[in-house]
Amino acid sequence: MSTELRVLVVDDDFRVANLHAGIVSALPGFAVGATVHTLAQARSAIAAGRYDLALVDVYLPDGSGVELVREIACDAMMLTAATESDTVRAALSAGALAYLVKPFDHAALAARLAGYARYRKLLSVPVVTPRDIDTAFEALRPAGSVGAGSSGPAPVSSSPTKDLVLRAVRDAPAALSAAEVSAATGISRATAQRYLATLVGAGALRMRLRYGSTGRPEQEYLAVETD
């Protein structure tokens, strides 16, 4: 049985939805179960499968994402441009575990997802201590998350392979995919993907999608500029 956390991405903009799905897919331990663009599609996806987490926009063509969060049994985070205080309160009251305002850096979402994975792990045992509960809630607001207003990336602990991956991306004249990092460093694609996801989560790299003429967009990575 898969131990990956299954994620439902709900956003009316297909490019934004694909971007969020790409960030989810880049992180070890996560899998995108479905990417949908309306409330109706989200409800159908939830009825047809199991999800651990939904990433939900507020503004959807057929209603508010807040209502979806209120309905569903799985966890949810809001990823939205909505900044009305009433909407924020309604989303938190509905059960949203996080509220990220667009536009945000890719690393901000990666850090929240990594924190969510820790939250789930801490609360996976039958009985928890008060300290476990505090730590689980702290994990949902990672100190290293990088948003639009942050001052820069969080420090990244060093390891030879991580340094190799980071240097390959920094030295490249253009953004690199995981396969290209693998070719440049001699490590496996899976290992490259794992370290790239870690570096995105720490804010040392950022991820975007590379759109080709056919097929699904490919994830590519660039170094975060520092002053």
pLDDT tops 80 at residue 135: yes
146 within some domain: no
> 165 and 129 in one domain?
no
Burial of 209 (0-12, 13-18, 19+ CB in 10 A): middle
145 within some domain: no
| Mean pLDDT within 206-218 | 70
Whichever domain contains 130, its CATH number is: 3.40.50.2300
> 165 and 135 in one domain?
no
> 170 and 116 in one domain?
no
pLDDT score recorded for residue 26: 77
pLDDT score recorded for residue 147: 43
> 110 and 197 in one domain?
no
Cα separation, 96 vs 103, whole angstroms: 18
- Report residue 148's pLDDT band, with 50, 70 and 90 as the boundaries: very low
Torsion sign across C-alpha atoms 162, 164, 167, 173: negative
- Can you give the residue range of the structural domain that contains 202? 160-223
Whichever domain contains 197, its CATH number is: 1.10.10.10
153 within some domain: no
> 177 and 129 in one domain?
no
pLDDT score recorded for residue 28: 78
pLDDT tops 60 at residue 84: yes
Domain count, the chain: 2
Cα separation, 193 vs 191, whole angstroms: 5
171 within some domain: yes
| Mean pLDDT within 85-93 | 96
> 169 and 119 in one domain?
no
- Report residue 143's pLDDT band, with 50, 70 and 90 as the boundaries: low
- Report residue 105's pLDDT band, with 50, 70 and 90 as the boundaries: confident
Tens of pLDDT, residues 43-74: 999 999 999 999 999 999 999 999 999 999 99
Of 14-18, 47-51, 92-96, 189-193, the one with minimum mean pLDDT is 189-193
Place of tokens 């476990």: 132
Q: Last residue of a domain, which of 106, 139, 172? A: 139
Cα separation, 140 vs 157, whole angstroms: 21
- Report residue 157's pLDDT band, with 50, 70 and 90 as the boundaries: low
Burial of 197 (0-12, 13-18, 19+ CB in 10 A): buried
